Amino acid sequence: MTDWVYTDKVKDHFQNPRNILAEESSFKEDGKGMVGNIKCGDQMLMLIKVDKEKGVIKDCKWKTYGCASAIASTSVLSEMVKGMKLEDAYNLSPKDVTKALGALPEHKIHCSVLGDKALRAAIDDYYRRNEMTDKIKKEKARTICQCMNVTDKEIEHAVLEGARTYLEVQERTKAGTVCGQCKEETIRLLEQYKQKHFTNPA
């Protein structure tokens, strides 16, 4: 038999996803995050229970409308965060999840981003419920392209979704399509995000 589409680790988590939420009503969560949209092909719900004294995630359950990569990456993520401090969980990146899975093809990275985002949304929700809103890290977006009002976050998102060249970033975000003054900055960010999300440390 030839190798499967993805790594054995992905296959294992796809076949036996861990921590799936069975009954939403019976799980008394401390924080809940839902991201994505089924129209775009994926959606993720994540619930967490928190040890309030230690600030540690005690339990984590999830559900998804998503592909094999979304299922496997969220399954792995749900195992990683149990027992993890809220701050550390908050700082997990898609790359950490990919590493735990062995590897994901580049065009599947965006599927693994979803679990990560849902987790942060759940932590934010916990902070909100417990009057700790000061801890919510606003994703500070900086406008790069003034003409089309495109932020660095949008450029990062485009890279995660598969843009690898300036032209592809332009196609997805429309950055630099009017006066073109932001070209240098956009290319710098493009390289930075490619490095951040897609280069494995040697």
Residues designated as active site: 40, 111
Query: Of 104-133, which residues contact another protein (CB under 8 A)?
Result: 105, 107-108, 110-111
CA-only gyration radius of the chain, Å: 18
- Please say whether the beta carbons of 177 and 148 come within 8 A: yes
Q: Which of 93, 139, 149, 162 binds another protein (CB under 8 A)?
A: 162
Shortest distance, position 48 Cβ to another protein, whole Å: 16
Collapsed DSSP state (helix, strand, coil) of residue 81: helix
Check binding of 34 to another protein (CB under 8 A).
yes
Q: Which of 3, 25, 39, 200 binds another protein (CB under 8 A)?
A: 39
| Cα(177)–Cα(173) distance, integer angstroms | 9
| Cα(28)–Cα(34) distance, integer angstroms | 16
Nearer to another protein by C-beta: 24 or 87?
Answer: 24
Check binding of 98 to another protein (CB under 8 A).
no
Check binding of 15 to another protein (CB under 8 A).
yes
DSSP 141: -
Query: Degrees (nearest 5) of the Cα angle 69, 74, 76?
Result: 100
Where along the sequence are the contacts to another protein (CB under 8 A)? 1, 5, 11, 14-15, 17, 20-22, 34, 38-45, 63-71, 105, 107-108, 110-111, 161-162
